[in-house]
Amino acid sequence: MQSKKLVSLGVSLLLVVILSLFWGLVVSTESVMAQTRTAQDQQQSAPQAANTCLACHNNPTVTAIFSTPHGVGSIAGSASNGRGCESCHGASGEHASTMQSPAVVFGDGGGRFTASDVEIQNRQCLSCHQTTETVHWAASAHQSADLACASCHTIHVAPQTALIERTDSGLCLSCHLEQRSQLNRRSHHPVAEGLMSCTSCHNPHGSDTVALLSKSSITDTCTSCHTEERGPFLWEHQPVTEDCTTCHNPHGSTQASLLSVRQPFLCQTCHSEAFHPSSLYNGTGIPPAGAQQNLLGTSCTNCHSVIHGSNHPSGSRLTR
């Protein structure tokens, strides 16, 4: 009896194992088939002309695309050429006939159909826009933060610069609140004034430098405009050749000249020369008590006026 029970238990266990193996097989074959189906859809379903889609979507919010670069028929790959709407929305024949979801739905899923994965959305755009501009997109801060191309670019909209709806700095500042407040400080780069923009220094599509900078280093980014500080100088000031942001905050500062710390403290963070006290200066140097230059005006740079480097034969102390 005992052994028979054990045997039948063994048999049912075996059955369960076999069944689950079989089930696993079915499930995995199914998903493989599903994958192949989508792949086939992408490649083989007859391309739907834009007119098929416009039979239902002929409203101004959608057709605005025809006045953008994506709607110009003469451009290969644009919406009115080749695969039409499907060049972005993917093979959507079944959507047009049976109201299934379009293959690729952009945005955040606020519409009737669920939005596609951000990665799938972006792959559509990158299929045409794999350029030097976007080459560092993969693993960039914005890609890692799951930003969609369409979170910055509006596609169905009358033409504007690079299909950006707001001025691009306004776009960036809508997410980057810390920089918004820095740009309001008394010393700041003229971004809000419209003389330059975030993209004067940053490439939002990624870069091979820190902080999505568009040039190959911080210093290169700065000296692309401030050529006078680029050097090389006869007498270099080491932190200047290394990294401008050692002393400057690029976005804005409450100190003059975008300085991150007020003089003389800025200089004293590194220098403690015997005859230039590195201690705090007290009130005795305030006029009219006998002026102490380290407390006046531009402080250490009253005398060390060529702080970024000197080409004068006797400028080794950065005084001329």
Nearer residue to ligand HEC within complex by CB, 21 or 162:
162
**How far apart (Å, rounded) are the C-alpha atoms in residues 172 and 212?**
13
Smallest distance from ligand HEC to CB 46, Å? 11
Smallest distance from ligand HEC to CB 33, Å? 24
Q: In this structure, are residues 258 and 187 in contact, taking their beta carbons and an 8 Å threshold?
A: yes
What value, to the nearest 5°, has the Cα angle with vertex 190 and ends 254 and 150? 110
Asked, as a colleague might, if the bond just before 60 is cis with ω within 30 of 0, I would say no
Nearer residue to ligand HEC within complex by CB, 37 or 226:
226
In 3D space, the residue among 264, 251, 189, 256 whose CA is nearest the CA of residue 225 turns out to be 189
Tokens of 171: 């776009």
Tokens of 116: 């596609």
Contacts with 162 (C-beta within 8 Å, 6 or more apart), sequence order: 153, 168
Smallest distance from ligand HEC to CB 314, Å? 8
H/E element, 188 = strand 187-188
Nearer residue to ligand HEC within complex by CB, 96 or 120:
96
Smallest distance from ligand HEC to CB 286, Å? 15
Alpha carbon 229 to its chain centroid, in Å, reads: 28
Q: In this structure, are residues 136 and 208 in contact, taking their beta carbons and an 8 Å threshold?
A: yes
Smallest distance from ligand HEC to CB 282, Å? 14
Alpha carbon 289 to its chain centroid, in Å, reads: 53
Q: 153 - beta bridge partners? A: 164
Smallest distance from ligand HEC to CB 317, Å? 4
Nearer residue to ligand HEC within complex by CB, 18 or 175:
175
For the stretch 294-303, what's the b/e string if a residue is b when 16 or more beta carbons lie within 10 angstroms of its beta carbon?
bbeeebbbee
The residue behind tokens 């194992």 is: 17
Nearer residue to ligand HEC within complex by CB, 41 or 151:
151
Nearer residue to ligand HEC within complex by CB, 10 or 77:
77
Smallest distance from ligand HEC to CB 67, Å? 11
Nearer residue to ligand HEC within complex by CB, 2 or 193:
193
